[in-house]
Structure 1
Amino acid sequence: MTARARVGTSGWSYDHWRGVLYEPGTRDRLARYTAEFDTVELNASFYRWPRPERFAAWRDRLPDGFEMSVKAPRGVTHARHFVLTPEWRERIAAGLDALGLRRGPLLAQLPPGDVRDDARLAAFLADLPLGARPVVELRHPSWVAEEVFATLAAHGAAYCVMSGAGLPCELRATADFVYVRLHGPTDALYQGSYDDAAITWWAARIREWLAQGRDVYAYFNNDIGGHAVQNARSLRDALG
């Protein structure tokens, strides 16, 4: 099967996207989003993990071929720092299962102050539900290490390639897919717009991963001012 690149945004419902993606009278923002993009990263799940019925409702509204990546709850990644209790494992599994064929990878993001802990990372990955297709966003620079990449590869987990916000940008592929989060071209989260040269550069990197037979998920998180939508359109067009 030919590798595929999916380009979207982190979240889909922002008031300041009026005039960029939505018209003033747009009532169904998800429908408008899915009319243009084939993937989205669900961020609301980080703050409050939805019930399975909510995931099922999204599944039924998403078109064929669309994939929703899901951000793991902060109750696991921030409050417990990658310690996955049996209760949380069951809740995560139920939600992902309810998405069915619309399910994309599961993103687990550690706080920027959490330093490298190989044993905790390995235990977390081993405890995840089967088929979770995990992605780990490791923001502290101490995680950039060959042993960490080997642990991820051993569990079929993707290293999250990060861009912007002063985060380490390490172009590493540790799974059969690559996951990229583009937080903006400046040192501030959610702000700024990538210029044409940057879009062209990222398109070239994505083509390299595709040539290796890896699917690619790329999400723009620079939502302020609607830049995420505009940059996602540009990257999608650059990839043809």
Structure 2
Amino acid sequence: MTAAAGRIRTGIGGWVFPAWRGGMFYPAGLPQREELAHASAALGCIEINSTFYRTQKPAIYAQWREQTPPGFRFSAKAPRTITQTHDLTKVGPRVDAFVGGIVALEDRLGPLVWQFGDTHPADAEAFDGFLQMLPKQADGRRLQHALEVRNPAAWTPELVTVARAHNVALVFSGSAEHPSFADPTADFVYARLMHARPNLRAGYPERALEQWCLRAMRWARGEDNPDLPHVSAEAASTGPREVYVLFIGAAKQRNPGAAMALRDQLARVGAT
């Protein structure tokens, strides 16, 4: 890695999961109140899933911030009351309320993930209007927005163009169940990998983690990964990117092991 490369963070979804206790990820006997501190010391990012179902009070976000080290980032799924609404022209007040609360995470706040289900009717034009509505900063801090589109019909070259116009990342969903395209569209990349295997300690074969190490490094340097599926033939030319690689779902008990294994591979090759 060169000095021109962006920072790469590996992580998981959530930090409360009983199967991670007793030595799987959390040391045996670790109090539950200390699990976030342990997880955030080991990983670079945790995606908050609970915000999809209900937002928290700013005081709770502030408590989470205080339990995590400098340089760590939370990403967060936006409320379903926004992303399950078909008429996106009406969600502005809910967007503002969500953002206005979660900025209490301050410098621990990473990407906000706007996940739209596989039957959501929005097309590139509707998403253009929605992304125009999203605040670019809050409390003096620049915001990162990641758009996860699960409706295969919405994945068009026009969607890629719209995302690039707003500097919004299109989430790479590493899943056989959802569209998985890797067109870079922003100055950061957000990948959610969902293929962990229960019989592997690190969730993934070593060769697969080596491939993701190389891909993350290319993204961080502002390059592309042509071995992954793309929608648009138009190449993106950007500078260094921040990269978030999160291990989500599948054999969830193995996701921390996968995130730490990828973290260690990146460290061995000198990635930031």
TM-score w.r.t. length of structure 1: 0.90
Of 40, 45, 48, which aligns to 2:46? 40
**Would you say 1:20 and 2:27 are equivalent positions?**
no
Residue in 1 aligned with 2:123?
117
Deviations 1:67-119 (A, max 9, x none): 11111011111245645524312212212321111110100111122245122
**Would you say 1:146 and 2:157 are equivalent positions?**
yes
Q: Which runs of 5+ in 1 are unaligned?
A: 187-191
User: CA, structure 1 residues 193+113, in 2 after alignment: closer, same or farther (shift >3 Å)?
Assistant: farther
**Would you say 1:107 and 2:113 are equivalent positions?**
yes
Q: Name the larger-Rg structure.
A: 2
The equivalences for 1:89-238 within 5 A come to 89-131=95-137, 132-184=143-195, 193-212=203-222, 213-222=240-249, 224-238=251-265
Distance 1:222 1:197 in 2: 20
Distance 2:110 2:191 in 1: 13
Deviations 1:40-90 (A, max 9, x none): 111111111111221122122221111111110111112456455243122
Residue in 2 aligned with 1:189?
none
Distance 1:56 1:172 in 2: 34
Distance 1:225 1:130 in 2: 33
By relative contact order (CA 8 Å, sep 6+), the higher-ranking structure is: 2
Say which SS state the counterpart of residue 171 (structure 2) adopts.
strand
Distance 1:87 1:115 in 2: 21
Q: Which runs of 5+ in 2 are unaligned?
A: 138-142, 223-239, 268-272
Q: What letter matches 2:17 in structure 1?
A: Y
Indicate the larger mover: 88-97 or 27-36.
88-97
Q: What letter matches 2:131 in structure 1?
A: L
**Would you say 1:4 and 2:15 are equivalent positions?**
no
CA shift for structure 1 position 168: 2.4
Residue in 1 aligned with 2:81?
75
Say which SS state the counterpart of residue 35 (structure 1) adopts.
helix
Root-mean-square deviation (CA, aligned residues, Å) is 2.0
Distance 2:26 2:250 in 1: 14
CA shift for structure 1 position 9: 0.3
CA shift for structure 1 position 138: 0.9
TM-score w.r.t. length of structure 2: 0.80
Count, aligned residues: 235
CA contact (8 A) 1:199 1:235 kept: yes
